[in-house]
Chain A
Amino acid sequence: MRKKIILLAASFTLISSACVSPIAVLTVMTHDSFSVSEEVVAAFETEHNAQLQFLKAGDTGTAVNKAVLAKDNPLADVFYGIDNTFLSRALEEDIFESYASPILAEIPETFKLDPDNRALPVDYGDVCLNYDVAFLNENAIDPPSSLEDLLDPSYKGLLVVQNPATSSPGLAFLLATIGHFGEDDYLNFWRGLVENDVLVVNDWETTYYSEFTRWGGTRPIVVSYGSSPPFEVIYAEEPMDEPPTAAVVEDETCFRQIEFVGILKGTQNRDLAEAWVDFMLSTTFQEDLPLQMYVFPVNPQAQLDETFVKYLAVPGQPAFVSPSDIASNRESWIQAWTATVLR
């Protein structure tokens, strides 16, 4: 009984103390793959006497839709994780407040896709072809060095890709082919891939864990991320020196996904939201990115972790398609692709 009273008293003190010194809560809405170190968040919270609350709202497309539908009564103060394939949707729907962070000055112009600074670049990653090193070695097949290579008969039946209609890396790879071959020719390339027996499945998980030879499938070449090989090393069962897979990073074979952060319209915490955006662009957060989410910081001042850099190949010149082109053509491209590849 006495214990109960003490507990009760303690909880009352806790509640009342919480009421006396209100800590500002900043809510950050993001996608399912978001991750960050405890200590990085703690650093921000102590510095600003604030508490961070993260909300995960599904994959990138789903999360963006939710932010758009909630724009009259926003779910959060900040939205992080919209990429260049979805950017125009958020900008057209006007869900962000413009904020010219002072740190933007340090960030290369190529990443700044919104001139009004409603969406600020945070990180980038590349969708690239990955291959099973051992399989290609054993069968004396060279890794492809261009997209055109995939049409060669020696690559027949080796490639598995995702459906761009349902998968984000699938869409990115379709955009890589559009960026490289141009709008007039990309469908010819895909016709060639179909002739060369490309396999299409709907999601990244199935391509990687069911169809890829590394995980028991029959296809040694797969569309995945440039960062997948380091993942294979870091999440190996037993320590290994060489990744069992590698990414193809030749010019115009990859598509770069840039992720952005924006302050949601209608926030009651504008100052704190600005502080968080600055923090995301600062080296503390930027240096935490690679090992948490396997993406690259956009801030060149950020030092990269050695294990990460060691196994990571970065494409010098990824294929490029502008967000506005993506916005206006996404539907027709996907429909044309579907008609060509799946029918």
Chain B
Amino acid sequence: MDPGLDGDCPAVKQLSRSRPPPSPTGRGRSPLYQLAIWLGPLLFLALFYLYPMGSILRVSFARGDGGLAAPLVEALTSTSVRRVLWFTVWQAALSTALTLLVGLPGAYLLARFDFRGKSLLRALTGIPFIMPTLVVAAAFNALLGPKGWMNLGLMSLFSLSTPPIQFTNTLSAILLAHVFYNTTIVLRMVGDFWSHIDPRLSAAAQVLGADQRRRLRHVILPLLMPAIITAALLVFIFDFTSFGVILVLGGPRFATLEVEIYYQTISLFNLPLAAALSLLQLACNLALTITYTRLSARLSRPLWLRPQRYTQRRFLTRRGRLAAAVTITLLLTLLTAPLAALAVRSVTRLDPERGQREPSARGLTLDFYHELTINRRQSLFYVPPTTAIGVSLVYAAATVVLALTLGLPAAWALARDSTSLSSRLFDPLIMLPLGTSAVTLGLGFIVALAHPPLDLRASPLLIPLAHTLVAFPFVVRSLTPALRSIQPRLRQAAAVLGASPRQTLRYVDLPLVGRALLVAATFAFTISIGEFGATALIARPEYPTVPIMIYRFLSQPGALNYGQALALSTILMLICAIGMLAIERFRIADVGEF
């Protein structure tokens, strides 16, 4: 199915039809027209984000004695909150910098070169993004824990008596996990934007005598900046609101605002303070997003975007090939080695031999996969893995359709006229759900969506809606830089040559942003597939997603439970990889190569 151009985006089509002849700049449409584009996305955000958030904040503050002011003052003056805020900010900044450092060389490789197995590489590097935190913790532990392969190897190599690498409950564990999760954002957002930039610009600079460093500084980086800061913003917000990684890998000595909100809400039921902290978190993210919006409007400039087949080449030199091999190896080691360790464990016998403590490899087995299909306890809530996979895929498909339907018009409006009042107002709004505390929003659904026809509290519909809230900003952010970079002159030329607005869309805009559309769809898919919504939402036990099933197994002792969690995690990785490869293969209409 076409994700968003023929069937799902009536707004765009309608607008293209009713559009007056292009003005010289392609800008300056009436406010009414702007609002019409925004109607869908705004309605969605109003109903499923602003209304629930407003309700829970109101209810929370009403529970305290001091109204709005007292908890806010408490939050702002408390030294422990200040400490938490400071840690949240600097760990997010450090994580983002590291993620860029790891991601940018890979992005360059994916953008400029054409090599075999590229789609696979892209899919493999995307898998970490969807893995449940507890599973990732187990994977890292298998590699870097006290009895992990690294420590055992180093201990036997240098005959040490204690494990040299201390991993659990350290800051490095948090940073490593953040890089592990988010590198794919940089690879995709920057890599795909880069792949459309005309290499002749850099070539021209070279001809004019610029060396490699100057070309990078004065040509490539300025052109790439919009994509880089977009990726950095998304990564930063993810790290800023990090919850599972901090809790599981960071241990009890580290807390972000999100962890503190969870603690205040669930453990202490101090809703007024939790609400104040939520507001604080929102304010930080809003400030950040507004800065970003300002910055990106200034940095972006129309480019001659080129289809990929003109921008990519094969490796020419042996040195180039070697550098590429090193980069790919490093990326894959970092991003897929822990996952491979998991997959291997899922087909390895786990029960230790009597008297021998480490779960030693005693041969291969498919027992855990087989066990998934058995309802051993005759439990009412047993669900075969195929059902869970089906449920996950249905939710993911719904999220992709919904996120593109809402995201495309919004991105279109932002790209066409970033200076109009509506764009300046709504741009930061789009990002807010990402920076919002999931615990708070989950309770907001309970309070707000409680009356027919919107009593969705226990409805399975709520899950794709919640996933879309997270996916929507990604879709908009993936599409806007590409849409913004289209030279208005191209559209004008097409119009002069007699193309209808529809034809312009089809033959000018689409081929240039097709790649970005795929990126957007991939993000929506992966966000939905990996999201673990059980803590934020009410789950209907008869429709569990794969991550929810994994948690079910992981919360009980016993080899079979642990093994089944590993087996399901491996299945989840496979679905994700296959899904991403399928999206890669997808051609929008018959536009062909991008």
**Residues of A in contact with B (beta carbons under 8 Å apart):** 27, 32-39, 41, 54-59, 61-62, 65-66, 68-70, 72-73, 75, 89, 132, 134-135, 138, 163, 165-166, 199-206, 208-211, 213-218, 224-225, 228, 231-232, 234-238, 240, 244-245, 291-292, 330-331, 334, 338, 342
Contacts and interface: CB of A to CB of B under 8 A. Distances in A.
A237 B351 contact: yes
Interface stretch (B216-224, B290-298, B446-454): B446-454
Contacts of B447: 69-70
A54 B380 CA distance: 10
Interface in B334-365: 349-352, 354-359, 365
B41 to A, nearest CB: 28
Contact of B379 (A200, A224, A292): A292
B380 A166 contact: no
A165 B264 CA distance: 9
Given A68-B269, A215-B562, 7 more contacts: A41-B380, A55-B541, A56-B539, A201-B252, A232-B557, A235-B556, A236-B559
Interface residues of B, number: 69
A273 B319 CA distance: 74
A180 to B, nearest CB: 22
22 contacts: A32-B534, A32-B552, A32-B555, A37-B378, A37-B380, A55-B458, A57-B538, A61-B267, A62-B535, A69-B446, A70-B457, A202-B251, A205-B555, A210-B137, A213-B357, A216-B141, A216-B147, A235-B556, A235-B558, A292-B379, A330-B267, A342-B252
B261 to A, nearest CB: 12
A25 to B, nearest CB: 12
Contacts of B56: 69
Contacts of B137: 205-206, 210
Contacts of A27: 458
Nearest to A137: B355
Contacts of B252: 163, 165-166, 200-202, 338, 342
Contacts of A163: 252
A291 B538 CA distance: 25
A204 B555 contact: yes
Contacts of A331: 268, 270
Contacts of B351: 236-238, 240
A39 B558 contact: no
Contacts of B71: none
B59 A69 contact: yes
A282 B47 CA distance: 44
Nearest to B447: A69
Given A69-B443, A165-B263, A235-B561, A203 B379 contact: no
Given A35-B379, A56-B534, A330-B268, A75 B251 contact: no
Given A205-B555, A237-B351, A330-B268, A58 B535 contact: yes
A215 B540 CA distance: 31
Given A37-B377, A237-B367, A291-B377, A201 B168 contact: yes
Nearest to B368: A237
B168 A210 contact: yes
A240 B354 CA distance: 10
Contacts of B365: 237
A166 B269 contact: no
B380 A56 contact: no
Contact of A209 (B358, B535, B554): B554
B248 interface: yes
A134 B354 contact: yes
B106 interface: no
Interface in B302-339: none
Given A134-B354, A217-B145, A237-B351, A56 B269 contact: no
Interface in B531-548: 534-535, 538-541
Q: Which one of A54, A72, A214, A237 has the highest number of Cβ atoms from chain B below 10 Å of its Cβ? A: A237
B247 A203 contact: yes
Contacts of A59: 266, 535
B357 A135 contact: yes
B534 A65 contact: no
B328 to A, nearest CB: 30
A56 B458 CA distance: 9
B265 interface: yes
Given A55-B538, A165-B263, A35 B380 contact: yes
A343 to B, nearest CB: 9
A271 to B, nearest CB: 22
A14 B451 CA distance: 28
B126 interface: no
B518 interface: no
A66 B443 contact: yes
A249 to B, nearest CB: 16
